Amino acid sequence: MTCPDPTYAALLRRLRELHGSENVLTAAEDLYVYSHVGPMGVERVPEPVAVVRIEPGHGDPLGGAAELGLPVVRIGEPHLDPRDGPYLLLDDVETMSLAELEQAIHEHRRRGDENRAARKSAGSAPMYAIALLQSKEAFRAETDAGYCVVQRFLGAETYSAKGRLLLCRGLANGDLTASERLVDSVYSCTACGQCYGQHTQSPLEINNAIVEARRRIVSQGRQPATCRPIMRNLLERGNPMGLEPEDRTLWYEDVADEFPYHGNKVLYWPGCTTSYRLPEAVEATAKVLAHAGVDFGVLGSREKCCGLALYLLGQWEEARAYASRLAEELGEAGPGTLITSCAGCYYAFKKVYPGLGASPAFKVLHTSELYHGLLKEDLLPPMRGKEVYMWHDPCDLGRHSHVYEPPRRVLGAIRGSKLVDPVLSSEHSVCCGAGGGLWMYSESLASKVAEQKVREAVPEGVGCVVTGCPTCVLNMRLAAAAHRPGLRVADLSEVIANQI
């Protein structure tokens, strides 16, 4: 929305000349986001004429505004009374860095320790509640500052954790429609769920709000054009890439021939990305399972996509029908357990399918969970090495499914090696950028997030980042090759298979 007043129009032209059009925000969605303040945008204030984004510490960037009698307010300053009339809003706030995120997590943990001590000294729950209400700690509005892995590359608060939450809310209650700006913000999210994680004891699951907003966008016929071929490929070819179904086993034919599924106790489900782009992980998984004596088989070219992309990108009706058909087909095949080395497939079968009314009739395990069980039964090979490992928690396996300990137990059992677990791990793990449909929507943005991950979130001295998600492996491998040579990225199965 651009102010029609020609006086303001002249001012806006001048500001665009000074700061660039991309830094003078007048779109309805931008003004809507910036007019919400406080914890997660709980308070609404009058919309500014425009928002001007500048570098922190800039002196007087809005020359001319004062002469026109237009007040200027910086973010964080008290807003004007609505009776004071139009104003300009100055955004000189830096996006939260990973170092600042670490500090926020440290502070959150410190307060958690203090609160536990307070609960203990209070003597009872009612007395602790009274003490908490009497303290200023109970009224802190700290959750105004969420963290987003992509915001630093997009800048405006419209692309922040708070901004996306507000856009989802505005779309849901009818304040906003599925405009190009709103659609871009909602689909440029990795749906990783980190957002406000540094402030809460339990996740807020804002990723679910993002996916729900995408459903509304699709219902309004505004799904991004880049997503449509992916949906068509999945429904017509059985994989998002549009590759031939019979080529699914092209790079692991020996495994498909030696271990065809014929009613085995365990069905190994590699998933589309692993099958077509990371076949070495399929071979490694089969090698580990065979060594442990697991009765397993693979569907090979009969395997289809789990359909998670339909759900993530907003095609909920198609996702519901697809999940129902596939769950029924797999149930008729009769496995007692389905194991997968793909975090996305695991999340789909374990969490998404039940929500769509298609609960599987079989047990679902990630390979890391199975390996942990085999480790406890002494069925994994003796493992030794001298590597320094770091486990990267895939968002779909970690924050969304709460599987944290099994892979760490397995890597920790490699004698002579070291497992590094930095602050930004487990529920605070930094997304690699490949999830939530972002890689499908904007591969270039997903690559920037992966570069951030390997540069800033992998401690010095780590020789190998291990994970349990094929898209994480591929995205981080590309980033490591370009920006951190020598850093290896591997699937957990590859690490174990190398010990056999």
pLDDT tens profile 417-455: 999 999 889 999 999 999 999 999 999 999 999 999 999
Contact 342, 274 (CB under 8 A): yes
Provide the pLDDT for residue 206. Answer: 82
pLDDT tens for each residue of 371-384: 999 999 999 999 99
CATH 3.40.50.1860 maps onto the chain at 383-497
Could you tell me where the beta strands, DSSP code E, fall in 228-359? 266-269, 296-298, 337-340
CATH topology of domain 6-91: 3.30.43
pLDDT for position 18: 85
Report how far apart, in Å, the C-alpha atoms of 60 and of each of 31, 63, 74, 76, 185 are.
22, 6, 12, 17, 30
pLDDT for position 63: 58
pLDDT of residue 55: 81
Using CA atoms, how far apart are residues 36 and 43, in angstroms rounded to an integer?
A: 5
Question: Hey, what's the torsion of the CAs at 469, 471, 475, 481, to 10 degrees?
Answer: 60
- Which helix (H) or strand (E) segment holds residue 182: the answer is helix 180-187
What is the identity of the amino acid at 285? Answer: T
Gap between the Cα atoms of 185 and 170, Å rounded: 13
Domain 230-372 architecture: 3-Layer(aba) Sandwich (3.40)
Residue type for position 44: R
| 419 bridge partner residues | 389
Look at the domain 383-497 and name its fold.
Answer: Rossmann fold (3.40.50)
Check if the beta carbon of residue 366 is closer than 8 Å to that of residue 393: no
For 117-146, give one letter per residue: b (16+ CB within 10 A) or e. eebeeeeeeeebeeeeeeeeeeeeeebbbb
Residue ranges, CATH 3.30.43.10, the chain: 6-91
- The list of the chain residues with pLDDT below 70 reads 1-5, 57-69, 79-83, 111-145, 196-204
Please tell me the predicted confidence (pLDDT) of residue 42.
78
User: What is the value of pTM for the model shown?
Assistant: 0.89
How far, in whole angstroms, is CA 39 from its chain's centroid? 21
Other CB atoms within a 10 A radius of the CB of residue 299 amount to 20
CA distances (Å), origin 314, targets 9, 42, 161, 183, 434: 38, 26, 19, 11, 17
Tokens of 269: 């489900």
Strands of the sheet containing 24-25, edge to edge, are: 24-25, 50-53, 88-91, 72-74
Buried-state track 359-397, b at ≥16 Cβ within 10 A, e below 16:
ebebebbbbbbbbbebbeeeebeebebebebbbbbbbbb
| Angstrom distance (rounded) from CA 397 to CA 349 | 12
Q: How far apart are CA 329 and CA 344, in angstroms?
A: 19
